[in-house]
Amino acid sequence: METMKSNEIALSNSLSCAVNALQTVEQASEQAGFSREQTNILRLLTEEMIAMTTDILQECKGSLWMEWEGTACELHLTAVAPMEEAAKAAFIEASRAKVNTPVKGLKNRISALLAGMLSSVNSPELYAAMSAGFVGGIPSMPSMRTWSLAAYAENQKQDQKDAELEGVEKSILTGLADDVVVSVKNNWVELVVRKAFNAPAQAAMPRFTGLSHVCIFVDDMMEAAAYYQKLLGAVPDHYLSHWRNKGFFQAGGFVREAKDGDVSIAFLNVPGTKLTLELMQYHYPEGRKEPVIFAANDVSGARHVALKITNIEEAFEHIKSMPDTRLINETDEYRVFQISETQPSEVRFFDQDLRESDERNVQTAKILSGVRYFYFIDKYGLQWEFEQGHSDIGD
């Protein structure tokens, strides 16, 4: 994968340079495909880098850019450190003063580190303040000297992670970045902030393994369980009584806010099928108690649950005898119906041209012509279909 790089932005102590730097990071993040949240993190890291560098060096002259490869990115800031003897001496003296007390805060540590690197062996106490974190050990006089916050933190962990690291961890950089690397060569300082984001989840078709359950909202769980035992011969499996769960509150069919819901839930298995009924009763917050019954031709989401049976006429008489259960047509004329004779020309398969027809059309038309069925609505408003002979679906 190729490493990409944004434009370099010239840095100074002016506000406009910070604005330009943030715009550059925004554009690079968009090009890299980072989310809004990830871009905001990079913006915060950029602001902190610039603020820290200008505060430490007082007069900042350099450049800033962003590099990325996949979801891993680096923010680079290079700046020139003071080289005139008076400015350099003042900078080193200020850094030494910060080290006289236990060095806390990432800015103070980097300030001490830069002063120690720039003053070389003349300020060994500044090296001591940063005793861990040097890449390759504490250098004497190499041309490039590099320090890593990640290496420093790892060393502190091995030493029981004393309270000295506490101030470092409160920085935005250390809270959001994976690593902060400081390098000095001659009078040039480079600050690199590394951040790798998790790869976004890829959209993919769900890999189904089967039907889990059909949920039915009821007003009395135990009464409902007894009802479905009589109606369908459903076998109770297990239940949860007054189960409190965060985010269970649903209103108007949509989750509006995460609140604690107080619900009872029961699971019943319908014999001869792989269907499990989930009965759910809300104790809090309570909802409407009367079910809404839609007309047969209303558009209103899922309309019925269909079960295959082998004794359609007996099942019809059983449903008619059930209290609180009604057929979708309550006149004496309603009965078990048989689908009208279906012609092969009326059956179409999705992979067929409109003019095509083969043996599948003939066999399916024959099956459909023999299917018998009826519909009913249970006491909780759920519509059911019992059908016999529909062997081309679900087998």
DSSP 8-state code for residue 352:
S
pLDDT digits (tens, 9 = 90+) for 225-274: 999 999 999 998 888 777 765 544 444 444 444 456 788 888 899 999 98
Q: How far, in whole angstroms, is CA 384 from its chain's centroid?
A: 36
Domain range enclosing 335: 293-395
pLDDT digits (tens, 9 = 90+) for 143-192: 566 777 777 777 665 544 444 444 444 555 667 888 888 887 777 788 89
- Pair 5, 55: CB distance under 8 Å: no
Domain assignment present for residue 69? The answer is yes
H/E segment holding residue 63: strand 62-69
CATH of residue 361's domain is 3.10.180
Q: Do 192 and 213 fall into the same domain?
A: no
pLDDT digits (tens, 9 = 90+) for 96-149: 554 444 445 555 656 666 655 555 545 555 444 444 555 554 444 445 667 777
**What's the pLDDT at 64?**
93
**What's the pLDDT at 253?**
45
Q: Which string of DSSP letters, residue by residue, matches 333-344?
A: T---EEPPP--G
Q: Do 108 and 189 fall into the same domain?
A: yes
**What's the pLDDT at 165?**
45
Q: How confident is the model at residue 89 (pLDDT cuts 50, 70, 90)?
A: low
**What's the pLDDT at 82?**
62
Residue 52 amino acid letter: M
pLDDT digits (tens, 9 = 90+) for 51-75: 877 777 766 688 999 999 999 999 9
Number of domains comprising the chain: 3
pLDDT digits (tens, 9 = 90+) for 10-65: 887 776 778 889 999 999 999 998 988 899 999 988 988 888 777 777 666 889 99
Among residues 196, 224, 255, which one ends one of the domains? 196
CB neighbours of 172 closer than 8 A, spacing ≥ 6? 44, 45, 48
Among residues 162, 196, 230, which one ends one of the domains? 196
Domain assignment present for residue 201? The answer is no
Across the range 207-212, mean pLDDT stands at: 71
Among residues 196, 226, 243, which one ends one of the domains? 196
